[in-house]
Amino acid sequence: MRRANRIFTAAVFVFLYVPMFVLILSSFNAGRDLAVFEGFTLIQYAELFRDEDLLRLLLNSAIVAVLSSLIATALGTMAAIGIHNMRGKLRSLVMTMTNIPMTNPDIVTGVSLALLFTFIGGLLKTRNVMGFVTLLIAHVTFNLPYVILSVLPKLRQMDSDLEEAALDLGCTPVQAFFKVVIHEIMPGIISGGLMAFTMSLDDFVISYFVYGPRFVTLPVEIYTFTKKPLHPKVYALFTVMFLAILLVMVLMNVLQARDDRRRKAGRSH
């Protein structure tokens, strides 16, 4: 049974990561045929960084990802603290509502937001409602649950006596929050922010329904590229994005492991 589990696990990893390795290998291929490796080259990366249109689209995606993750992290942290202080059925109801955006299909969320923005545009009597603002609001909306669910466990793990001790020593509630609570839950805040950034950077489905022609993100524009043979420099772009997101995920795991070691060391003392 154990051997069968190992084989199944290995098969899953092969299925997940072999396509990525093929993509990375293709970005260094001197030829255009994916089935034939004609030689190692970096020319695709040189062409990528000379392509102003692709870099502009990548910058648009980065701007939305950074802003939406920062806003979602701030709002999600405040929401998590509020939920943590709730009790009984109200807390269960709010947590259920928090989980709905994560389980809801992206296409349903995208269409719903598009209808909402169109309705608001009708009230404002404008046809050009879709753009950077609607894209940012949509990304903040679907990022919020990830931040909340990253911060809540840290709030549960925090020793409530620490905050009470700070209040007894003369801190105001605001001072106790910034000097004690924030310090204790910071790993969860950082993890939630990094998760929000990665979710926003590569989102396509929701972005497709709420973007405007004046501000287009990279995943939405790449969708139009797939209707014709892709240029190898796009493989280089995918590789750069994959490595960037991989770096962020590794950083999240390192921060989580460091926080776990710190907490275990604190309990031993």
CA angle 101, 189, 92 (to 5 degrees): 45
In the structure encoding, which two tokens stand for residue 155, read together? 């709030």
8 Å CB contact between 77 and 143: no
With b for 16 or more beta-carbon neighbours within 10 A and e for fewer, the 2-22 pattern comes to: eeeeeeeeeeeeeeeeeeeee
Q: What confidence tier does 106 reach under pLDDT thresholds 50, 70, 90?
A: confident
Which one, of 161, 188, 159, lies nearest residue 259 by Cα?
188
Q: List, for residues 123-149, the tens digit of each pLDDT value.
A: 887 778 888 999 999 999 999 999 999
68 or 221, greater pLDDT: 68
pLDDT of amino acid 221: 84
pLDDT of amino acid 141: 92
Does residue 58 carry a pLDDT above 80? yes
Q: DSSP secondary-structure letter at 131?
A: S
Lowest mean pLDDT among 47-56, 174-183, 207-216, 259-268: 259-268
Q: List, for residues 148-157, the tens digit of each pLDDT value.
A: 999 998 888 8
Q: Could you tell me which CATH number the domain at 52-268 has?
A: 1.10.3720.10
Q: What confidence tier does 268 reach under pLDDT thresholds 50, 70, 90?
A: low
Q: What confidence tier does 84 reach under pLDDT thresholds 50, 70, 90?
A: confident
Whether the pTM exceeds 0.85: the reply is: no
For residues 84 and 122, what is the distance between their CA atoms, to the nearest angstrom?
38
Q: Taking the CB of residue 46, how many other CB atoms lie within 10 A of it? A: 12
Q: Strand, helix or coil at 104?
A: coil
- Expressed in percent and rounded to 5, the helix, strand and coil fractions of the chain are 80, 0, 20
8 Å CB contact between 216 and 60: yes
Does residue 20 carry a pLDDT above 80? yes
List, in order, residues 6 or more apart from 13 with CB less than 8 Å away.
none
List, in order, residues 6 or more apart from 37 with CB less than 8 Å away.
25, 29, 31
Does residue 19 carry a pLDDT above 60? yes
Q: What confidence tier does 74 reach under pLDDT thresholds 50, 70, 90?
A: very high
- Residues carrying CATH 1.10.3720.10, the chain: 52-268
Mean pLDDT, all residues of the chain: 84
